[in-house]
Structure 1
Amino acid sequence: MSDTATAQDEEPKEPLSAEEQMRERRAAAYRRATRVLARMGLRAPLRERLARLQEAAPEVYDLDEPSDLYGNGVVEALERRVAALLGTEAAAFFPTGTMAQQVALRCWAARTGNPTVALHALAHPEVHERDAFREVAGLRTVRVTGEPRLPTAQEIRDFAEPFGALMLELPLRDAGFVLPTWEELTELVQAARERDAVVHFDGARLWESTVRLGRSLSEIADLADSVYVSFYKSLDGFGGAALAGPKSLVEEAKTWRHRYGGMVFQQFPTALAALIGLERELPRLPDYVRHARVVAAALREGFAESGVPWARVHPGEPHTHQFQVWLPYDADVLMEAAVRQAEETGTYLFTSLWDTKGPGLSMTELTVTAAGLEWTAEDVRAAVADFATRLPAAPRWGRGELREQPPTTRTRPAGVAGALSVAGCTMGT
């Protein structure tokens, strides 16, 4: 067959949609950017991720040992390390946090005789897990509050119906990665105890909570009856999670892990990546948290100096190394500005997706890791000033005085709505 015939027989490729084009532009901009606030392993090529694993693995485990089979070997070593860090009797490795928390809470439900789990309306199982607690684990959830903060002790004491377990997400990601103070947390746990409820911490990002709470990981974990932690959200691992707590609970959880299909034949790459994260990233997280506060303050100053009509960094002083930025533009406008800045300058300030929260109002999440430590406050302000030049003319409800409030939505945190209601305010605290 001739080359001409072959070419004629090939079906023409369909043009990429606008969404696909933006996805490709974002990926290319991230790869080529010379300056970002965070370099995430999950966005690196496979070759690079495997090379990093091979380079770092000898630091955390004897590679002459046999590979793991059904949760022994390096997986057991990881479980022991987590239990030691959290000060618990035992820990069990799980392939996902969704599985780990279902297992933990169904175990507690059997012990308390009450399948009701009290949690926040923005807790991960309520927002991101397609009703898995109810549909798979047979649990019932009740929402203590929907405010962009952790529940209060008084809300727990006043809640109108009994519950067997209180689940607290530390930090609460969808509210802005927010944490209570140590005093608020201890009082909150005590209030649950007064109601004869067990306390489970959704600690997917517990690792970076020590700075605001002012306590060690073991002191924090000691407040709860059980704790789940993730190995990829902050530690840059490949995936995986652990459930930590009393030995009797962990042993029961391992039985349910098997029943749920979590008894994976081999998991050494994930376990090794988790151990590397505990060795390399965990000690650096406090530095990331402290520098996130510098970045957040510089962002606020930069938007004010650039004349952006209303901008919000939430929380005003980040509780962890992650926080939210809210701007009065549609998501596609902000995405285009962010990618174009990266393409033209090599500086990719806002690498995450922008999420529309209402007409003309969007939010993105910022993370500060090792790459972000290189940014000074002046670097951030300069990047904001350049980003602002790529935005369209300001909405008429801006420019120093909020003459017209944007529509409110159910998903916008109350703190943001409160900032909007203050006339003459260019940004909230």
Structure 2
Amino acid sequence: MTDAELLKQCHTVLPGHRARTPAEMFSAMAAWCEANDVAHDVYGSGELIQQFEQKVASLLGFEAAVFCISGTMAQVTALRLACEDRASRLVALHPTSHIFVHEKSNYQLLGHFDALHVGDRHRPFTAADLATIPDRLGAVGLELPMREIGGQAPSWDELEAIKAHCRNRNVHLHMDGARLWEAAAGYNRPAQEIAAGFDSCYVSLYKGIGGLGGAMLAGSASFVARAAEWFRRQGGNVIHRSPYVVAAAMQFEQRLAQMPLYFRRTERLYETLRDYPSIKVNPASPQANMLHLHLPVSRERALAIRNDIARDHKVWLFGRAAHGALPGTSVVELYVGDNLTGMPDHAVRTALDLLCAAIEKTA
């Protein structure tokens, strides 16, 4: 049985939001389009998409924003243009940056820029880490929060220090804001305040928002216009972006309004996890509505436990699992969304009891 088939038969699912079927999603989109008299855009020109682009730009405190078919395209394009403006091809990125981990060396093979690792892979980099780089940088890319290390983020004072460092050295500061709305709840500050001091920002239209896909890139009007031209050059000139925009716009305010609730549920989950010492949690305290669980079993065993519990108890514990730094350990991710928010504490404890009982049998 495939992972998708196992997940579908589960009555209790811990991570994320309840997944809509295509029929449910398309039906909701159709009803929203009918209620709002939506017309297709044509190559990005249309009332719905342009209003939504401006809405996102305003929320982030930028002059303009433009839709892009993927964050992968949006980010390397933004960093390429930033480097052209500063006459330096060097970009400083955290070792766990999405660009390094998930994008198949696109920045290098497509000739966008040259990249340097900055900081320790297990924690966010600091202004002091940036100061150790002797080279003149064109840009710095900062992910808020940092998914690959459990949703960690710099402290507010450290974030301000990074902004000041880049500003004083005329380095373009770009935000990978794939989960910015989640970071805003963790910082307990509006997204615009977090984005202030950044020169550009990418946000996802599907991760925390639950849309079909797509992204927005925000910045100055001239920077965004140049980026839009580069998207076209790279094959991103989709004739109708309206399906992606509708899927995000129809639930955008609701999702943003729920982010503080998701964060409070994450805080409660941390309290529960203290009763399960065999599970180590990263970060030590919540910084966004996501976290990593470090398990004392191998990746293969963690996935087998997940599948056994899904099959026998109809409980889905987590999605992907990764190898831990130590032999015989693994790391799994939990994104706290609608599923956990609507789940009573006793159901969460039942799921964790099942997980820990299986771990103890392995030991």
Q: Which band: TM-score by shorter chain?
A: over 0.9
SS of 1:365 mapped into structure 2: strand
Q: Which residue of 1 aligns with 2:224?
A: 250
Pick from 355, 363, 368 the counterpart of residue 322 of structure 2: 355
Residue 34 of structure 1 pairs with residue 7 of structure 2: no
Q: Give the TM-score normalised by the residue count of structure 2.
A: 0.93
Q: Who wins on radius of gyration, i.e. which is larger?
A: 1
Q: Which residue of 1 aligns with 2:75?
A: 101
Residues 230 and 241 in structure 1, CA contact (< 8 A), matched pair in contact too? yes
**Displacement of 1:188:** 1.2
Pick from 16, 20, 40 the counterpart of residue 67 of structure 1: 40
Cα root mean square deviation, aligned: 1.9
Give, as a single letter, the amino acid of the residue that structure 1 aligns with 2:327: P
SS of 2:29 mapped into structure 1: helix
**1:127-176 Cα shifts (integer Å, max 9, x gaps):** 11111112214300011113322211111122222211111011111111
Q: Which residue of 2 aligns with 1:387?
A: 355
1:189-338 aligned at under 5 Å gives the runs 189-301=163-275, 303-304=276-277, 310-338=278-306
Give, as a single letter, the amino acid of the residue that structure 1 aligns with 2:26: L
Give, as a single letter, the amino acid of the residue that structure 1 aligns with 2:23: R
Q: 1: CA distance between counterparts of 2:257 and 2:34?
A: 18
Q: 1: CA distance between counterparts of 2:175 and 2:251?
A: 21
1:13-24 aligned at under 5 Å gives the runs 21=1, 24=2
Give, as a single letter, the amino acid of the residue that structure 1 aligns with 2:22: L
Q: 2: CA distance between counterparts of 1:273 and 1:243?
A: 18
Residue 370 of structure 1 pairs with residue 346 of structure 2: no
SS of 2:206 mapped into structure 1: coil
**Displacement of 1:39:** 4.9
Give, as a single letter, the amino acid of the residue that structure 1 aligns with 2:331: M
Judging changes above 3 Å, is the alpha-carbon distance between structure 1 residues 57 and 205 closer, same or farther for their aligned structure 2 residues?
farther
**1:183-229 Cα shifts (integer Å, max 9, x gaps):** 11001111122222111111111111112223211111112011111
Give, as a single letter, the amino acid of the residue that structure 2 aligns with 1:195: R
Give, as a single letter, the amino acid of the residue that structure 2 aligns with 1:152: T
Judging changes above 3 Å, is the alpha-carbon distance between structure 1 residues 204 and 160 closer, same or farther for their aligned structure 2 residues?
same
SS of 2:145 mapped into structure 1: coil
SS of 1:258 mapped into structure 2: helix
Residues 157 and 192 in structure 1, CA contact (< 8 A), matched pair in contact too? no
Residues 65 and 217 in structure 2, CA contact (< 8 A), matched pair in contact too? yes
Residues 182 and 214 in structure 1, CA contact (< 8 A), matched pair in contact too? no
- Structure 2 gap ranges (5+): none
Give, as a single letter, the amino acid of the residue that structure 2 aligns with 1:34: H
**Displacement of 1:277:** 3.5
1:18-167 aligned at under 5 Å gives the runs 21=1, 24=2, 26-40=3-17, 43-57=19-33, 62-63=36-37, 65-73=38-46, 74-167=48-141
Q: Which residue of 2 aligns with 1:176?
A: 150
Judging changes above 3 Å, is the alpha-carbon distance between structure 1 residues 96 and 329 closer, same or farther for their aligned structure 2 residues?
same
Residues 157 and 195 in structure 1, CA contact (< 8 A), matched pair in contact too? no
Identity %: 31
Give, as a single letter, the amino acid of the residue that structure 2 aligns with 1:72: S
Residues 257 and 263 in structure 1, CA contact (< 8 A), matched pair in contact too? yes
SS of 1:325 mapped into structure 2: strand
Q: 1: CA distance between counterparts of 2:85 and 2:318?
A: 45
- Structure 1 gap ranges (5+): 1-20, 305-309, 396-429
Give, as a single letter, the amino acid of the residue that structure 1 aligns with 2:309: Q
Q: 1: CA distance between counterparts of 2:287 and 2:45?
A: 36
Q: 1: CA distance between counterparts of 2:16 and 2:171?
A: 40
Q: 1: CA distance between counterparts of 2:285 and 2:261?
A: 15
Query: Higher relative contact order by CA 8 Å / sep ≥ 6: 1 or 2?
Result: 2
Residues 16 and 335 in structure 2, CA contact (< 8 A), matched pair in contact too? no
**1:317-349 Cα shifts (integer Å, max 9, x gaps):** 22111110111112222222222223333332x
Judging changes above 3 Å, is the alpha-carbon distance between structure 1 residues 45 and 374 closer, same or farther for their aligned structure 2 residues?
closer
Residues 86 and 138 in structure 2, CA contact (< 8 A), matched pair in contact too? yes
Residues 300 and 313 in structure 1, CA contact (< 8 A), matched pair in contact too? no
Residues 297 and 317 in structure 1, CA contact (< 8 A), matched pair in contact too? no
Size of the alignment, in residue pairs? 361
